[in-house]
Amino acid sequence: MATPAPKIKFREPQIEMAHGAGGKASRRLVEGLFAPLLFGAGQGPLGDAAHIQINGTRIAMTTDSFVVNPLRFPGGSIGELAINGTVNDLAVSGARAEAIVVTYVLEAGLPTDILEAEVRAMGKAAKEAGVRIAGGDTKVVEHGKADGMYVTTTGIGRLIPGVAISPESVKPGDKILLSGPIGDHGITILLARGELDLEAEIQSDTRSVLPLVQSMVQAAGGGIRWMRDPTRGGVATSLNELARDCGCGIVLFEETIPVRDTVRGACELLGLDPLHIANEGQFLAVVAADRADAALEALRQTPGGAESVMIGEVRDEPAGSVLVTTLYGGGRLVDMLVGDPLPRIC
Amino acid sequence: MKYVDEFRAPELIGKAGEEIRRLADSKRHYRIMEVCGGHTHAIYRFGLKDLLPENVELIHGPGCPVCVLPMGRIDDGLSLTAKPEFIFAAFGDMMRVPGTHGSPLEYKARGMDVRIVYSPADALKLARLNPKKHVVFFAIGFETTAPSTALTIIRAKSEGLTNFSVFCNHVTIIPAIRAILDSPDMRLDGFVGPGHVSTVIGCRPYEWIAQEEGKPVVVSGFEPLDILQSIVMLLGQLRNGESKVENQYKRVVPWEGNRAALRAMAEVFELRPYFEWRGLGFISQSALKIRSAYGEWDSEQRFTVPGVRVTDPKAAQCGEVLKGVLKPSQCKLFGRECTPEQPVGALMVSSEGSCAAHYNYSQHKPVTIASAAAV
């Protein structure tokens, strides 16, 4: 019997910046075009990394491209992002990064010292994250075509024993943990572009979250239901995806969500919601209620995890949505990011 | 954060809510219009509606500059800059507003040079940095943003910078309020007056609303406590049978306005005989155009503009929503054909638009919220 033709739902006439911004449009593209043509039927919810089985061994695999402008910014650079981003995508899918391969797309005219600085930054970040860089590829494109350089990293990782996460396992009553203040990376990039005539003491949060994930797993093991690093689209987008995939309501308590004053100030000025701003060194976890305290305590005891907090919980209602309770007992729904308020920040 | 947190303190907010309940006569239904889109946004963002008794209803007004801009003006602006020697510069709010053939962002994806700027001065900077191109600043806004456009034009003239012009869509708030009060299907009890506009025009221009129309006006700030306190002040006036203009936003708004800003506006702009408002139709003397002395910096005087007129899609009820006759969710397209991602009407585009605010923050039925202490 012939296989039925895959159903392509993506009918938009051209690709817009929004399709790469990590919000609703990105999801439509992936689920409407890529998934039906490439993954076939029966594909479950799309996570940060794919889990595949080779000769009985389950490994996690992920890939990510970095097109950030500017290449260097307070607290980091494209090289560090490229390593940490892939290590983190594996970490939040429950895996420890083992090896990474790198593709550089370089623009003719890129000064060698800039490239060297980024290669060094990658080497250092890889060493800190405990991952081996196993190979790579280089392409050069014409001047003016690649903002200096683009970097793609592809990583494989070994699953951390005792972790079984999936959005379907998330249940009402579960608690939502966050590893630290949000919005630092996105606002840093926005200010580093120098287009706003705004200055602030702030730096990107880029780092490997693997040590935090590992100590949480040790403390709460099977109680961990779901993890995600809220990069493009921010916390709001990650949690909306979860709400949609698990069918529950996600309720956040606004006063508990950590946002630095500089980030809040910039968001107030620019009319942005910190919940939509990108992060590169934080992660969200949903943990069973009876293990949540232990998980939080473990995070707080780990270096870099002191600012971890419980920001909300899973409830029956509003099913499929994210609700933020305001300081005054009022409530507002927070949707996924629509469009692209901060183009190309990771 | 200073000047923010003290206006969001839960205990003060709670007290203001109690005061509103005390002042509101339970036998009466109050319809209060917040004129400004910034207020609409704050009301939704902070869930302030949940703090008001059922008989105090907030009606969202026309004070969202993106929302009242007719589609023809967007088409005109975009057709002007659709050549490679032009740069189209506008505030971020404009970028997703649909024209007949797409939004500025969609034009950008097709190759047009479109830049987001945060002030008209940034657009002028673009002109200095790109001497071989002509930068068109697509100016929108009420009296809040008009002075900075005026000062930028004065600056361009004094610098002799000729590769810069303004496509001027500045409008004025008073004629819009008059149009709403003239609308036969409206019944309002009072106004939360615009805060930012009033920093420029002051409070005097609203006096006719209180004196001739008998409706109280309280010029309000944008923090939750500001808005609730303004409602307290309005209810107090209504209870005493008064109608006057009060200034809740004294820390920012001088009663007489900002003379320097008004001077700059008068130097550069004059009133258009009439201008089309989306949803409200043509309103006489409701918008600003650039005086001929500054004609070289006026895109409309300098280039040929087609003068496109586009009627809104029939099914969209933007006009009724804009005037406060319908609630956003009562429009036939709301949340179905018209969403923030694929907006049909402009009220769905800007975060200050009442439809987008309603969709983003409360499109579902209200949810009962247990306190955070339950965690």
Pick the CATH number of A48-159 from 3.30.1330.10, 2.30.30.40, 3.40.640.10, 3.40.91.50: 3.30.1330.10
Average pLDDT value for chain A: 90
Query: Cα(B302)–Cα(B296) distance, rounded to whole angstroms?
Result: 6
* pLDDT tens digit sequence for A224-233: 999 999 998 8
How confident is residue B270, by pLDDT bands cut at 50, 70 and 90?
very high
Average pLDDT value for chain B: 89
8 Å CB contact between B318 and B345: yes
Q: Do B46 and A339 touch (CB under 8 A)?
A: no
At residue A105, φ and ψ (nearest 5 deg) are -110, 110
Q: What is the rounded average pLDDT of the residues A213-222?
A: 93
Q: What is the rounded average pLDDT of the residues B25-53?
A: 90
Nearest to B105 by CA among A145, A233, A21, A235: A21
Q: Do B51 and A332 touch (CB under 8 A)?
A: no
8 Å CB contact between A261 and B1: yes
Over pLDDT 90: what percentage of chain B? 58
CB atoms within 10 A of CB B260: 11
Question: Closest residue of B to A262, CA-based?
Answer: B1
Query: Cα(B123)–Cα(B105) distance, rounded to whole angstroms?
Result: 17
**H or E segment to which residue A151 belongs:** strand A149-159
User: What pLDDT sits at residue B362?
Assistant: 66
Residue showing tokens 């010292």: A113
8 Å CB contact between B149 and B166: yes
CB atoms within 10 A of CB B110: 13
8 Å CB contact between B70 and B310: yes
Mutate to test the interface with B, among A326, A336, A340 (most CBs of B within 10 A): A326
Alpha helix (H) ranges present in B101-256? 104-109, 120-129, 146-159, 173-182, 195-201, 207-211, 224-239
User: What pLDDT sits at residue B98?
Assistant: 84
Interface residues on A facing B, Cβ-Cβ cutoff 8 A: 14-18, 24-25, 175, 195-197, 249, 251, 253, 255-256, 261, 264-265, 268, 270-271, 310, 312-313, 317-318, 321, 323, 325-335, 338-339, 341
Topology annotation, domain A167-333: Phosphoribosyl-aminoimidazole Synthetase; Chain A, domain 2 (3.90.650)
Q: Do B369 and A331 touch (CB under 8 A)?
A: yes
How large is the ipTM? 0.72
Using alpha carbons, list the distances in angstroms from residue B305 to B73, B268, B285, B301.
10, 20, 21, 9
Cβ contacts from A onto B, under 8 A: 106
Nearest to B114 by CA among B94, B131, B100, B128: B94
Mutate to test the interface with A, among B228, B367, B368, B371 (most CBs of A within 10 A): B367
Interface residues on B facing A, Cβ-Cβ cutoff 8 A: 1, 4, 8, 10, 13-14, 17, 44-51, 92, 95-96, 105-106, 108-110, 118, 122, 224, 340-341, 351, 359-364, 366-367, 369, 371-372, 375
pTM (two decimals) = 0.82
Nearest to B190 by CA among B280, B313, B59, B317: B59
Q: Domain map of chain A by residue range?
A: 48-159, 167-333
Q: How far is B241 from chain A (nearest CA, A)?
A: 31
CB atoms within 10 A of CB A336: 24
* pLDDT tens digit sequence for B102-127: 889 889 988 999 998 888 999 999 99
User: What pLDDT sits at residue A200?
Assistant: 80
Query: Cα(B48)–Cα(A290) distance, rounded to whole angstroms?
Result: 34
User: What pLDDT sits at residue B259?
Assistant: 95
Enumerate the β-bridge partners of residue A253.
Answer: A325
* pLDDT tens digit sequence for A92-103: 999 999 999 999
Q: What is the rounded average pLDDT of the residues B238-245?
A: 96
- The tokens for A188 are 């840093």
**Dihedral through CA B39, CA B45, CA B48, CA B49, nearest 10?**
90
Per this entry, what is the length of chain A? 346
How confident is residue B281, by pLDDT bands cut at 50, 70 and 90?
confident
CA B131 to chain centre: 33
Is pLDDT larger for residue B153 or for residue A328?
B153
User: Which amino acid type is present at position B324?
Assistant: G
Is the C-alpha dihedral spanning A131, A133, A134, A139 positive or negative? Answer: positive
Q: How far is A251 from chain B (nearest CA, A)?
A: 9
Nearest to B2 by CA among A220, A268, A304, A139: A268
Is pLDDT larger for residue A197 or for residue B356?
B356
Query: Cα(B73)–Cα(B100) distance, rounded to whole angstroms?
Result: 10
Q: How much helix, strand and coil, in percent to the nearest 5, is found in chain B?
A: 40, 15, 40
Q: Do B367 and A249 touch (CB under 8 A)?
A: yes
For chain A, the maximum distance between any two Cα atoms, rounded to a whole number of angstroms, is 64
The per-residue DSSP string of B207-237 comes to HHHHHTS---EEE--SSHHHHHHHHHHHHHH
* Spatial CB neighbours of B256, under 8 Å, sequence gap ≥ 6: B202, B204
Nearest to A68 by CA among A269, A232, A244: A232
* pLDDT tens digit sequence for A20-61: 877 788 888 998 999 889 887 556 667 788 988 888 888 999
8 Å CB contact between A210 and A87: yes
* Spatial CB neighbours of A338, under 8 Å, sequence gap ≥ 6: A18, A23, A24, A25, B340, B341
How confident is residue B374, by pLDDT bands cut at 50, 70 and 90?
very low
* pLDDT tens digit sequence for B181-214: 888 777 899 999 999 999 999 999 999 999 999 9
How confident is residue A341, by pLDDT bands cut at 50, 70 and 90?
low
Query: Cα(B199)–Cα(B144) distance, rounded to whole angstroms?
Result: 8
Residue showing tokens 């008209």: B120
CA A210 to chain centre: 13
Residue showing tokens 């339950």: B374
DSSP-based three-state secondary structure for A56: coil
* Spatial CB neighbours of A332, under 8 Å, sequence gap ≥ 6: A323, A324, A326, B44, B45, B46, B47, B360, B361, B362
Question: Closest residue of B to A335, CA-based?
Answer: B360
User: What pLDDT sits at residue B372?
Assistant: 33
* pLDDT tens digit sequence for A125-173: 999 999 999 999 999 999 988 999 999 999 999 999 888 899 999 999 9
Query: Cα(B294)–Cα(B300) distance, rounded to whole angstroms?
Result: 11
User: What pLDDT sits at residue A339?
Assistant: 63
Residue showing tokens 């820390």: B251
User: What pLDDT sits at residue B160?
Assistant: 96
Contacts of A16 in chain B (CB under 8 A): 105-106, 109
- The tokens for A196 are 């706003």
**H or E segment to which residue B282 belongs:** strand B281-284
CB atoms within 10 A of CB A209: 26
